[in-house]
């Protein structure tokens, strides 16, 4: 009897021009696989991208080389792999993500996919590999063994399948992040109280907001603020080089979202004394979704008051071998 790995076929995923063409079959099967995994993990698909978003974002561009693969057993889609390699900055890094459908887990398919990702990264001279896992925060920290990240903040259950998988493959947990949910509408009295507190603490600043594309007279300042997401956000041991953002890169980012049917709303804080934009947050709403997602949110260093996802990293030698 042949093993699952002997029967496994891993091939590049063709991203069609639309979901209505015959060549869209594999793409749509992978979309269903991802949506099913989201449903199993979270009980909903609120955070899952739409097909339109995936058609736009699952492609390489001048800033990132994106390789996507589909895994099949007997013709059936059982897994997906992507590898992203930055082309402008952080050229020694690759970010990867492995997904195996629930019925096919535990057969070595995930290991085969992560090895394929590492081979690709090594061929392109990438020696730092990064990825993430998602874990609902419904575990009791007093009754389960925990794995703390290098940053020392937060923890993941040590017996989680994803945690064990990445540890076995040589990855170190660097940082834990939390996703939070805000149910709308808010109580009007609570909103007013928050607005009063914000007004008291924001002397010397004003809030500028726009829908869609950044106003032309602000785009240079906004680009500089976007660049600081790589250096000013907490990253534990996940070092990122400073990114170069200009109007072209801002417009490319906006166009990707808008072309995929998403609406954008941005609010930025302007420091009145200098005229600089020093903080921002982005809200996006995908067409057909009834939820909003808060994307990039940052207060630049120097303007901050004093005072559960897991992100993983693996470093290799130039030939892709794990240092011992």
Does 321 fall in a domain?
A: no
Q: 236 and 218 in one domain?
A: yes
Does 274 fall in a domain?
A: yes
Please say which residue of 124, 150, 180 terminates a domain: 180
Full DSSP string of 3-40: -HHHH-EEEEPP--SSTTSGGGHHHHHHHHHHHHHHHH
Q: 195 and 171 in one domain?
A: no
Q: 208 and 156 in one domain?
A: no
Cα 198–chain centre separation: 29
Does 255 fall in a domain?
A: yes
Residue-level pLDDT at 317: 61
Residue 106: pLDDT over 90: yes
Residue 324: pLDDT over 50: no
Q: 239 and 171 in one domain?
A: no
Q: 234 and 125 in one domain?
A: no
Split at pLDDT 50, 70, 90, the class of 152 is confident
Residue 108: pLDDT over 90: yes
Split at pLDDT 50, 70, 90, the class of 320 is very low
Please say which residue of 180, 215, 241 terminates a domain: 180
Q: What is the CATH number of the domain that holds 51?
A: 3.40.630.30
Name the domain count of the chain.
2
Residue 311: pLDDT over 80: no
Q: 259 and 176 in one domain?
A: no
Q: 215 and 165 in one domain?
A: no
Does 39 fall in a domain?
A: yes
Does 317 fall in a domain?
A: no
Full DSSP string of 162-215: HHHHHHHTT-EEEEEE------SSPPHHHHHHHHHHHHHH-TTEEEEEEESSPP
Helix (H) or strand (E) holding 84, with range, is strand 76-86
State the angle between helix axes of 247-259 and 219-227 in degrees (0 to 180), rounded to the nearest 10: 90
Cα 16–chain centre separation: 22
Does 156 fall in a domain?
A: yes
C-alpha pair distances (Å), 81 with each of 88, 114, 245: 23, 8, 28
Q: 152 and 101 in one domain?
A: yes
Residue-level pLDDT at 309: 56
Residue-level pLDDT at 321: 42
**CA 175/CA 154 separation, integer angstroms:** 8
**Count of Cβ atoms closer than 10 Å to residue 34 Cβ:** 17
Residue-level pLDDT at 66: 98
Does 315 fall in a domain?
A: no
Please give the residue range of the domain that contains residue 113: 4-180
Residue 82: pLDDT over 60: yes
pTM of the model: 0.86
Residue-level pLDDT at 258: 93
Residue 54: pLDDT over 60: yes
Percent of the chain past pLDDT 90, that is, above it, reads 73
Percent of the chain past pLDDT 70, that is, above it, reads 91
Residue-level pLDDT at 322: 43
Helix ranges (DSSP H) in 1-133: 4-7, 25-42, 51-57, 109-123
The tens digit of pLDDT for each residue in 237-283 reads 677 788 899 999 999 999 999 999 999 999 999 999 999 999 999 99
Q: 175 and 192 in one domain?
A: no
Residue-level pLDDT at 273: 93
Q: 146 and 194 in one domain?
A: no
Residue-level pLDDT at 307: 47
Q: 163 and 25 in one domain?
A: yes
Please say which residue of 137, 155, 180 terminates a domain: 180
Whose structure tokens read 């809030």?
207
Does 313 fall in a domain?
A: no
Q: 195 and 115 in one domain?
A: no
Residue-level pLDDT at 301: 86
């Amino acid at each position: 009897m042949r093993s699952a790995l002997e029967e496994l076929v891993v091939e590049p995923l063709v991203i069609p021009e639309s979901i209505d063409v015959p060549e869209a079959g594999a793409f749509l099967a992978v979309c269903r696989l991802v949506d099913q995994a989201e449903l199993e993990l979270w009980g909903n698909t609120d955070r899952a991208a739409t097909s339109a978003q995936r058609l736009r974002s699952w492609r390489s561009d001048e800033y990132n080389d994106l390789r996507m693969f589909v895994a099949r057993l007997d013709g059936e889609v059982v897994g997906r792999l992507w590898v992203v390699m930055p082309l402008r900055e952080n050229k020694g890094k690759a970010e990867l993500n492995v997904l195996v459908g629930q019925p096919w887990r535990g057969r070595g398919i995930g290991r085969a996919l992560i090895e394929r990702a590492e081979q690709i990264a090594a061929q392109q001279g990438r020696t730092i590999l990064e990825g993430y896992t998602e874990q609902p925060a419904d575990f009791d920290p007093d009754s389960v063994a925990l794995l703390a990240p290098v940053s020392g903040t937060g923890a993941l259950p040590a017996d989680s399948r994803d945690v064990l998988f990445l540890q076995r493959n040589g990855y170190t947990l660097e940082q834990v992040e939390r996703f939070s949910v805000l149910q709308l509408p808010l109580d009007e009295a609570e909103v007013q109280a928050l607005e009063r507190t914000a007004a008291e603490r924001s002397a010397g600043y004003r809030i500028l907001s726009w829908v869609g594309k950044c106003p032309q007279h602000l785009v240079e300042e906004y680009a500089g603020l976007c660049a600081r997401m790589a250096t000013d956000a907490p990253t534990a041991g996940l070092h990122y080089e400073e990114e170069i953002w200009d109007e072209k890169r801002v417009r490319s980012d906006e166009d990707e979202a808008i072309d995929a049917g998403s609406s954008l709303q941005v609010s930025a804080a302007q420091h009145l004394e200098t005229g600089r934009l020093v903080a921002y947050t982005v809200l996006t709403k995908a067409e057909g979704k009834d939820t909003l997602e808060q994307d990039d949110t940052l207060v630049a260093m120097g303007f901050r008051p004093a005072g559960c996802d897991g992100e993983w990293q693996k470093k290799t030698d130039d030939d892709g071998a794990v240092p011992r």
